[in-house]
Amino acid sequence: MNALEYAAVYGLRVSEKKAHEIGRLARKYGIAMSMHAAYYISLVSKDLAVRKRSRERLVKALRFAPLMEVKRIVFHSGGYSGHSPQEAYAAVRDALIDVWETAGRESGDAILMPEIAGKIRAFGSVEELISLSQEVDHVLPTIDWAHLYARSQGKICDRPQFLQVLEAFEKALGKEFTDNMHFHVSGITFTERGEKEHRPLGGRWGPDILPLMDIVREIGYKPTFISETPPPLTGALYAKFLLHELERIK
Ligand SMILES: [Zn+2]
């Protein structure tokens, strides 16, 4: 329980005073801070005003990051909005370059961490995030294992598949990736379009995170795990318990 993802998912509504107070508490208690930016970010929207507002939300997140001790800004890039994946890729890339040019210098050492998307028609496949991280400085992936499970229609669910994903990121991004591993975990339901709803861990919903924990322990990766279960605390306790037990019995 030493990491927290500040949920600015309906917009960053915190005052500067409160942001400073959050930062002070994070330092005092040694909490690794990240921030989940607004759900309605849509960097590929057909509406250019929406794209602009989306970039502004990321700019604001970068500017507030040092006040709050936030080192990682996690966000959903948005749907393809009828564009081809190639067009969407170019739009996201250009948007993130623009965001960084605007506010990167003010961000302390915070970086931008787009998530693997749970919906099939949303930007954020493994391949897209690898290319984006290679091409744009200060961008690294957030691996949401539940999203990946939903996006792959339940295929990415076991040790060989988890290993393959981690190896692909590590091979392409190296130490930058392994030093900044950021994972979201939860159960999830999905349809043929991908993600439906986040669910608790350890129940009847996939993905089972035990093989993932086993890989992490075995290789010695040091990811930050953020639980996105309803409610988040039970998932966090469950994940921590698994990892602790694996350490104990190894
Ligand atoms: Zn997530």
Q: What is the pLDDT of residues 164-180, one digit of tens each?
A: 999 999 999 999 999 99
How far are the Cα atoms of 70, 81, 109, 140, 165 from residue 22, in angstroms, in the given order? 10, 36, 17, 24, 34
- 220 CA to middle of ligand 1, Å? 23
Q: Is the pLDDT of residue 39 over 90?
A: no
**Predicted pLDDT at 204:** 92
Pairing, β 111-114 against β 70-75: parallel
- 20 CA to middle of ligand 1, Å? 25
What single-letter DSSP state applies at residue 122?
B
- Contact (Cβ atoms closer than 8 angstroms) between residue 10 and residue 37: no
What token pair was written down for 124? 């954020």
- 36 CA to middle of ligand 1, Å? 9
Tens-place pLDDT, residues 85-126: 999 999 999 999 999 999 999 999 999 999 999 999 999 999
- 231 CA to middle of ligand 1, Å? 14
Domain shared by 126 and 149, yes or no? no
Where is the domain boundary, 89, 109, 141?
141
Domain shared by 126 and 33, yes or no? yes
Domain shared by 80 and 127, yes or no? yes
Tens-place pLDDT, residues 17-27: 999 999 999 99
Domain shared by 112 and 159, yes or no? no
- Looking at the chain, the whole-number percentage of residues with pLDDT higher than 90 is 94
Tens-place pLDDT, residues 53-89: 999 999 999 999 999 999 999 999 999 999 999 999 9
Domain shared by 127 and 28, yes or no? yes
What token pair was written down for 114? 């787009």
What single-letter DSSP state applies at residue 3?
E
**Predicted pLDDT at 249:** 86
- 147 CA to middle of ligand 1, Å? 7
**Predicted pLDDT at 5:** 97
Domain shared by 45 and 23, yes or no? yes
**Predicted pLDDT at 250:** 74
**Predicted pLDDT at 60:** 96
- 38 CA to middle of ligand 1, Å? 12
- 57 CA to middle of ligand 1, Å? 18
Q: How confident is the model at residue 9 (pLDDT cuts 50, 70, 90)?
A: confident
Dist CA 27 CA 22 (whole Å): 9
- 24 CA to middle of ligand 1, Å? 26
Domain membership of residue 150 as a residue range:
145-250
Mean predicted confidence (pLDDT) in 190-216: 95
Q: Is the pLDDT of residue 10 over 90?
A: no
Domain shared by 105 and 201, yes or no? no
- 17 CA to middle of ligand 1, Å? 28
Domain shared by 152 and 212, yes or no? yes
Ion ligand 1: protein residues whose beta carbon lies under 5 Å = 144, 184, 228
Where is the domain boundary, 141, 172, 191?
141
Burial class (CB in 10 A: 0-12, 13-18, 19+), 29: exposed
- Contact (Cβ atoms closer than 8 angstroms) between residue 160 and residue 206: no
Domain count, the chain: 2
Domain shared by 193 and 207, yes or no? yes
Domain shared by 221 and 112, yes or no? no
CATH at residue 80:
3.20.20.150
**Residue 63: other Cβ atoms inside 10 A:** 18
Average pLDDT over all residues of the chain:
96
Domain shared by 150 and 202, yes or no? yes
**Residue 28: other Cβ atoms inside 10 A:** 8
| Start-to-end C-alpha separation, the chain | 22
Dist CA 107 CA 205 (whole Å): 38
Domain shared by 235 and 191, yes or no? yes
Where is the domain boundary, 94, 121, 141?
141
Tens-place pLDDT, residues 119-139: 999 999 999 999 999 999 999
- 140 CA to middle of ligand 1, Å? 14
